[in-house]
Every structure is written in C-alpha cells, then in structure tokens.
Chains A and B, each alone.
Chain A
Amino acid sequence: MLRGSLAIWQRDMLILRRSIISELVAVVAYPLTIYLAFGIGMQSYIGLVDGAPYSMFIAPGLITMTAVSAAYNESVWSLWFHRRVQFTIESYRVTPISVSEIVIAKIFTGFTHGIIKGCAVGLVIYAITPFRFPLEHLLQYLLFLIPGSALFSCAGIISGTVMDKPETIGKVEAVLVMPLIFMSGLFFPLSSYPPSVVSWVRALPTTALFEGARRALVAGEMLPLAALQVALSSMVAFVAAVYIFRYKMSE
C-alpha cells in the first residue's frame, strides 16, 4: 500500500542529501545566534531561571524549536511548491498510487527534516557550549521530539494544502506558528505568566511539547500527561492532514 509513499519519500531524501551541507548551515545558524545572544550575552543580566543558568534553560528548547520549525517549513513549502509551482503532485496523481500515499510521503519528509535538523543543532550545541545532559535522558526527550516533529509536519501539510499564495503562508507563520513556539515556555518559565493566562497556555500542545521536552532532557523527569497530549495532538493532526489533502485533491 505504501509503495508510492516510499518512492516519493526517497525522492525527497535524495534532494535533501544533495543539499545537506547548505541546509544544515542555514538551519544551525538561527538557534545558535539566539543561544549566543541570550544564553551567553544576556546570561549575567538574567541569572538563574528555574534554578538553572539561562543558557542551560534555553538550550533544550532551541533544539526542539529547530526540529519542529524545520518540520513545519519543509512540509508547508514543499507541498505548496509541488502543488502550485511544479505541478509534481499532479504528475504523481496520474500514476496508480492513492492520494493518501502522496500526503503520507510528504508528512514523513517533513518529519525526517525535523529530526535530522534537530539532531544537527543538538550536536552543535553539545560541541561548542557547556550544555550537558545525561545520555539516558535522551530517550525520554525523543518521546516528545518525535511526536512533536510529526505534529508540526502535519500542521505544515495542512497549511500548504489550503493556502495557495506564498504570502499567506508567510503571514500564518509570523502570526501563528512562531508565537506558538515562542510563548510555550521556550525562553521563560511558565510561572512568568499571570495566573489567569497560564492555564490557557498549558492547554496548548506546543506548551506540553516544549515544557515536557525540557524537563525530560535536563532533569530526566517524565511528564506522562504532557507526552500523551503531544502524541494525541500529532495523531489528530495526521488524520486531519490526510483528510484535508484528500478533500482538496477531489476539488
């Protein structure tokens, strides 16, 4: 059944392999700049956050942020490009594979981009900063990173399916995606929010993702509810992405 998905995913991986160096340089530059500016530059002004130096506080969030925004970006732009610019989706659709196979391939591509780029940033932060964590925490961290990347890849697929204009895609990213990432406890602890807001913020799957991921990586704590929330959200997003794409293709 997934023969078509495999062929398309392998095509996407071939393209990624061809441009891996420039992709990685571009993707590492942004979180690293933030790390240097805030984690190092501002550290002495900020002091300890939640008992940890600020650079330690933001490091795991930067890895998570890289992974999920890479997943989102790859999915949204790739789907838009193949649908509206290159018409490759249409060339896939006249072969004996199903529309679901196409969208599943694209979801996996976005997911793979997220994981690879998240790992790359993790390695760079590990190599050039004093940020350290016990290796056994990694497994728990992946329980957040994997469904988190899948969630953002599916969200990207949905955006790339429903939006026909590139400027709309840019606006949605600025108004919705980036704020969601930045407000979910990446740069400051949730306790900074006024009590009336914090329960709303906590209800967001992105908050569960960033909060749970940091606790897992730094403290080895496991927040099962948060993990469940991210996992469920990614499943719902997956079903929605497949459904919306199929609907769009049936015109």
Chain B
Amino acid sequence: MQTAAIVTRSLTKSYGELTALDSFDLEVEQGSIFGLLGPNGAGKTTLIRILTTLMRPSSGDAFIEGLDSRSKGRDIRSMIGVVSQENSLDRYLTARENLELHARLHGMEKRLYKHRIDDLLELMGLAGRQKDFPDTFSGGMQRRLVIARALVHQPQVLFLDEPTTGLDPQSRRAVWEYVRSLAGSMTILLTTHYLEEAEQLCDRIAIMDHGRLIAIGSTQELKDRLSGATVYEVEFAGQGADHYAALLGSMPCVIDIKQVENKIAITLECWECLSEIVTALNGAPVRRISLQERTLEDVFISLTGQKVRE
C-alpha cells in the first residue's frame, strides 16, 4: 500500500489547562488537496505547527511521508513547504532575495535555484516586482510571495495555514487559482475558516472544532451526511401560493413550510415524497420547482450546532 502523505494518531497538544488538540486522527492521501475547516481557536494552527516540526505534541504521533515527526524533523523539513498564518517575509530583503535565502537554507546550489526562482516568480505573477521589498506589496502579492517561497525547493507536501484570511475577494480568487494549479503535483494541506474556500479547493475536508475532529469526507459526502430532509422551492406564477401553501402544509410528509410572497419552501422528510407533492400541485400555476443545494455551512451548523465563527 502507498504511504499516506500525512498521518496523525491520537495527536494531542495541551497548553496548560487548555487542550488545543484532542486525540486527533487524520490521514491525508498523497497528491490530494486536503482542507482543514474550523472556526478560530479550533486548533488548526496547532496541528500545522506540530506537523511542520515547529512544536512537539503532548502525546500521540505524527508522520509525514512515513517519517516520524519526533525523530526525523530535519528530513521532514527538507520535503515540506510551509505558508504560516502570519506573513513571515523578510522586509529587508527584496522579493527575489527572500526566495534565494530560502533556497540556500535548503542547501540548493545557485545554478539550480536561479531558474527555479525565475519560474516561480513568473508563475505567481511577481516577476516584474522581484527587486522590490515586500512591504511595498499588496496583501495578496505578499501571500503569493510566501507561497512561492514555500515552493522553491519543490516540496512533496505543502502546508497552507489560512492562506487567504484577510485578503479581498479578488486576491483570494487569485490565490485559489495558484493553489489549484499545483493540484496533483504535491500533497496540499490547507486550513481555512471559509467554507467556500474548502468547497472550492479541496478534494477532502475535515471539520474540526475545540481540537476535535468532527467529520471527514468529500464535500459531497459531508453534505449527504445532513439529515435526510430535503428542501424544495416552488415558485408560482401570479396568485395561488397562499392556497397551495395551506394545502401542502397539511400533508403528512411535509415537515415544514415557509412562504415568501409567491414562493414557498417545502421541507420534506425524504426526497421520495416528492411525487406526492407533484401530484398535489397538478394544475397549479407553477413557474419553477427547484432543489435547494445545501452548503458546507449547513453541514457545519448541523454538526456543531453553530455557525462558523468569523
């Protein structure tokens, strides 16, 4: 069997009284983009810091490409790229020098890293600004530079801790584009508290809160985990909504019904009762029937009982 890129077993980290990471078990397949979704304080950064050997766990184990994080720190660090939550660029070095220093710390030779850095600056859209200092860059450009820095030595596993937090929507999309362009060439673990980001980028998602893993799966699998209830929206042409809302509301398979002007939202026990509804609506001036797509937000609320804290 192929080794997983990242494995954690009962990983636990306490800061004094507080358990920031609680018996965390995770397995991330090689080559996938894995999302770790959770509100602020969920323990995402703590997990990343342990996986990137910046911090030791209180108990439990973590393996990167089969290497034990406790004893093989240096080997692990030579094959991972890290984009930390805080921007850790050196503001006294130009964009290019930031990448060069990083390449040298990875023991790369100049003739090797020169071209690599040219390519990366091009890829991240920073080639024209390579001689400038990072504090003259926009937030999105700085973030891209940090990502470029994490890629200089061609890592096998890339960690991105909240790569788009604090960016405007346009810069966020640009970062997504770059992350997507890396898909398949390496394993990517990213943390986020934006549901949309996890949904857009990740093959698999783990939802966590208070240091615990709450659910894990693909976006679709997580959505399927919602209770069987499905919501349909029926839009009427002209009058009739009031009458049919009352009629449908009295049917046994309808759990809930809400009316807004000429639209009614019907919550069904299961999708199988849809045919009864359609029969009941026979001859009604229906303009449109649509299934309401559930989002990760719904999943998060149904699993944790609360909205994602921003």
Interface residues of A in 68-117 (CB under 8 A from B): 86-88, 90-98
Query: In the complex, A91 Cα to B103 Cα: how many Å?
Result: 12
**Interface readout for B97-123 with A: 1 if CB under 8 Å, 0 if not?**
100011011110000000000000000
19 more A-B residue pairs beyond the given contacts A11-B101, A96-B106, with a C-beta to C-beta distance below 8 A:
A4-B105, A14-B97, A15-B92, A87-B84, A90-B54, A91-B84, A91-B88, A91-B89, A92-B105, A94-B54, A95-B77, A95-B105, A95-B106, A96-B105, A96-B107, A97-B105, A98-B74, A250-B56, A251-B55
Query: In the complex, A160 Cα to B79 Cα: how many Å?
Result: 30
Nearest chain A CB to B92's CB is how many angstroms away? 5
Q: For A94, give its contact among B77, B86, B97, B107 (CB under 8 Å).
A: B77
- Is B127 interfacial (CB 8 A cutoff)? no
Query: In the complex, A20 Cα to B97 Cα: how many Å?
Result: 19
Query: In the complex, A96 Cα to B64 Cα: how many Å?
Result: 14
Q: For A7, give its contact among B52, B53, B89, B105 (CB under 8 Å).
A: B105
Instruction: Let me know if A94 and B53 touch, CB within 8 A.
Output: yes
Instruction: Let me know if A96 and B104 touch, CB within 8 A.
Output: no
Which of chain B's residues has its CB closest to A101's CB? B105
Query: In the complex, A86 Cα to B91 Cα: how many Å?
Result: 8
Which of chain A's residues has its CB closest to B85's CB? A87
Instruction: Let me know if B107 and A3 touch, CB within 8 A.
Output: yes
- Is B7 interfacial (CB 8 A cutoff)? no
Query: In the complex, A212 Cα to B76 Cα: how many Å?
Result: 49
Interface residues of B in 69-83 (CB under 8 A from A): 74-75, 77-78, 80, 82
Instruction: Let me know if B86 and A93 touch, CB within 8 A.
Output: no
- Is B215 interfacial (CB 8 A cutoff)? no
Query: In the complex, A95 Cα to B74 Cα: how many Å?
Result: 8
Chain B residues with CB under 8 Å of chain A are 52-56, 74-75, 77-78, 80, 82, 84, 86-93, 97, 101-102, 104-107, 149
Query: In the complex, A14 Cα to B101 Cα: how many Å?
Result: 11
Instruction: Let me know if A7 and B104 touch, CB within 8 A.
Output: yes
Nearest chain B CB to A86's CB is how many angstroms away? 7
Chain A residues with CB under 8 Å of chain B are 3-4, 7-8, 11, 14-15, 18, 86-88, 90-98, 250-251
Q: For B88, give its contact among A18, A90, A96 (CB under 8 Å).
A: A90
Query: In the complex, A5 Cα to B53 Cα: how many Å?
Result: 19
Given known contacts A7-B101, A96-B107, is B90 in contact with A90 (CB within 8 Å)? Answer: no
Nearest chain B CB to A103's CB is how many angstroms away? 14
Nearest chain A CB to B256's CB is how many angstroms away? 50
Query: In the complex, A18 Cα to B91 Cα: how many Å?
Result: 13
Given known contacts A94-B53, A94-B82, A251-B55, is B88 in contact with A87 (CB within 8 Å)? Answer: yes
> Which 9 pairs across A and B sit closest by C-beta, in order of nearness?
A87-B88, A95-B105, A96-B78, A7-B104, A91-B88, A94-B82, A96-B77, A96-B74, A15-B92
Q: Which residues of A contact B90 (CB under 8 A)?
A: 11, 86, 88, 91
Which of chain A's residues has its CB closest to B53's CB? A94
Q: Which residues of A contact B55 (CB under 8 A)?
A: 251
Q: Which residues of B contact A90 (CB under 8 A)?
A: 54, 84, 88
Query: In the complex, A95 Cα to B101 Cα: how many Å?
Result: 11
Q: Which residues of A contact B84 (CB under 8 A)?
A: 87, 90-91, 94
Q: Which residues of A contact B92 (CB under 8 A)?
A: 15, 18
Given known contacts A4-B105, A87-B88, is B75 in contact with A96 (CB within 8 Å)? Answer: yes
Residue contacts A-B, CB under 8 angstroms, 10 given: A7-B105, A11-B90, A11-B97, A86-B88, A87-B87, A90-B84, A91-B84, A91-B90, A92-B105, A96-B74
Query: In the complex, A98 Cα to B105 Cα: how many Å?
Result: 10
Could you say which of B54, B77, B104, B107 has the most chain A C-beta atoms within 10 Å of its C-beta? B104
Q: For A95, give its contact among B75, B86, B102 (CB under 8 Å).
A: B102
Instruction: Let me know if A87 and B80 touch, CB within 8 A.
Output: no
Q: Which residues of A contact B74 (CB under 8 A)?
A: 96, 98
Could you say which of B86, B93, B104, B105 has the most chain A C-beta atoms within 10 Å of its C-beta? B105
Q: For B52, give its contact among A86, A88, A94, A251 (CB under 8 Å).
A: A94
Q: Which residues of B contact A87 (CB under 8 A)?
A: 84, 86-88
Which of chain B's residues has its CB closest to A97's CB? B105
Query: In the complex, A96 Cα to B56 Cα: how many Å?
Result: 16
Query: In the complex, A98 Cα to B74 Cα: how many Å?
Result: 8
Q: Which residues of B contact A251 (CB under 8 A)?
A: 55-56
Which of chain A's residues has its CB closest to B87's CB? A87
Query: In the complex, A87 Cα to B92 Cα: how many Å?
Result: 13
Query: In the complex, A94 Cα to B82 Cα: how many Å?
Result: 7
Query: In the complex, A94 Cα to B74 Cα: how many Å?
Result: 9
Which of chain B's residues has its CB closest to A6's CB? B104
Q: Which residues of B contact A4 (CB under 8 A)?
A: 105
Nearest chain B CB to A231's CB is how many angstroms away? 31
Nearest chain A CB to B234's CB is how many angstroms away? 54
Nearest chain A CB to B245's CB is how many angstroms away? 57
Q: Which residues of B contact A8 (CB under 8 A)?
A: 101, 105
Q: Which residues of A contact B80 (CB under 8 A)?
A: 94
Q: Which residues of A contact B107 (CB under 8 A)?
A: 3, 96
